[in-house]
Structure 1
Amino acid sequence: MKLPVTRDLHDYWDRLKGERAAPDRADIDPVAIRQILADTFIIEVDASRRFPLRLCGARINALWLAEQKGRQFLNWWSSQHWRDIAAALRQVVDKETPLLAHAAGAAGGESAEFELLLLPLRHFGARRSRVLGSLAPIRPPVWLGMRPIGYLDVVASRTLSEKAMEASDDDWPLGSARRMAAADGASRSFS
């Protein structure tokens, strides 16, 4: 995890869950994470697995120059990555395992790189119901809030096992799909 947003959200989630596999949505206090709310979102796991966004932060909305609440999470991604993203979400939800990804996108020909974190949440105790996440640019693009981003592409991803969490940031450079995939046997790299 390179970005403070990602680390802060993961640390908060980890404290809330305690010994459980995932915390409950009701446990989340927006005031406790107010400094990162603009980069966070919550996905509903619906029966048709379309993954509508229940909440979405202001900086994420600024990427598309539109409110994302109510839209489908999969629509952020290029069609060639839908299956990979849906599979990654299913893994987060079904195995209650966090996932870290590196993504890329562009607006008006100018590209940007992003760090994505997906964390399982329960809703009223029910498993497979919500995902808490963050999406933040590695370097804020100059066009943020002026031009809408196109679709995002997944560059690399890995699940966050306890073993992987003990490694230093230097062991997990973003953009190195091969090294990220080697971090965890359950990891999956996307091209």
Structure 2
Amino acid sequence: MKQDGSIALFHYWNRLRKGRPAPKRTEIEPADIKTLLTDTFILERDTRGEAVFRLAGTRLCAIYGRELKGFSFPSLWREKDQRLVARLAHGVFESNSVVVIAFDGISRNGRSNAFEMVILPLDGGIDSPRSLGAISAEHKPFWLGADPIVEAQVESVRVVDPDREPMFLKNRPAIGVPALAPSELPSEGDVRTAGSRRIRHLLVFDGGRGQ
């Protein structure tokens, strides 16, 4: 993670969980993260099994030019990235993955800006999986919030092991995503040589302590 908002939300989440896979959703206190609220969101799984926005901060809604509550999370992304994003959200719900996505947001008028997103699991019970996230703009151009983002293009994905890497978040390499169809993920042999391991359909990068 590179953006202060992502790192601050991660450390808050990490403190709350106290060694558990995820904190309970009822443990989240908005007052504790009041400086981050405008950039945060909560996802839930709907009856179709799709990740949708349950809540979204005011600045996020302004950036996208609409109220995000109830909208499909994968629908924010370009078509070729939607399946990947849906699988990553599913991994957060089902495997308590911590996911960081770097992406370019494309505006209605064709402008582009870089963003970072972190998605963190919450324990909402078997029937009500939730996740907490934040989106941070790397830059804040004059048009952001006036020219709505209409499409997001994934640039890189990082799956963080929160028990190994909390002190090294700024130093971890991201996985480049030139055209990330599921069939294009590295083979298991490639994963070993890259110093990472596969957990179901996700990749977790090990190490960091010696850097």
TM-score (norm 1): 0.87
**Which AA in structure 1 matches 2:121?**
P
> 2: CA distance between counterparts of 1:120 and 1:4?
19
Matches within 5 A, 1:78-89: 78-89=78-89
Question: Which residue does the alignment assign to 2:12?
Answer: 12
C-alpha separation between the residues in 1 aligned to 2:2 and 2:150?
Answer: 24
Q: Which secondary structure does the structure 2 equivalent of 1:131 belong to?
A: strand
The 1-side partners of 2:95 and 2:141 are apart by 34
For the Cα contact (< 8 Å) 2:74–2:83, is it kept in 1?
no
**Which residue is equivalent to 2:197?**
185
RMSD: 2.1
What do residues 108-152 of structure 1 show as CA deviations (whole Å, max 9, x unaligned)?
Answer: 2221011010101112x4376101111111111321121111210
* Structure 2 equivalent of residue 159 of structure 1: 159
Kept in 2, the 8 Å contact 1:41–1:133? The answer is yes
The equivalent residue for 1:68 is: 68
Letter in 2 for 1:185: R
| C-alpha deviation, 1:76, in angstroms | 0.9
8 Å contact from structure 1 (residues 61, 67) kept in 2 = yes
1:79-118 matches, cutoff 5 A? 79-107=79-107, 108-118=109-119
CA contact (8 A) 1:158 1:184 kept: no
Q: Helix, strand or coil: the match of 1:38?
A: helix
Flag the structure with larger Rg: 2
Cα distance in 1 between the residues matched to 2:85 and 2:46: 15
CA offsets 1:58-101 (integer angstroms, 9 cap, x no match): 11101111111111111111111110001111111111121111
Q: Secondary structure at the match of 2:113?
A: strand
2:120 aligns to what? 119
* Greater CA drift, 139-148 or 20-29: 139-148
Relative to structure 1, the CA distance from residue 183 to residue 28 in structure 2 (aligned partners, 3 Å threshold; closer, same or farther) is farther
Deviations 1:159-180 (A, max 9, x none): 11133434352x3366x728xx
Unaligned runs of 5+ in 2: 178-190, 204-211
Task: Describe the shift of the 1:71–1:95 C-alpha distance in structure 2 as closer, same or farther (beyond 3 A).
Answer: same
- Distance in 1, Cα, partners of 2:48 & 2:169: 38
Report the CA distance shift for 1:184/1:46 in structure 2 as closer, same or farther (over 3 A): farther
- Distance in 1, matches of 2:23 and 2:42, equals 13
Match of 1:21 in 2: 21
- In structure 1, give the amino acid aligned to 2:84: D
Matching residue's letter, 1:117: V
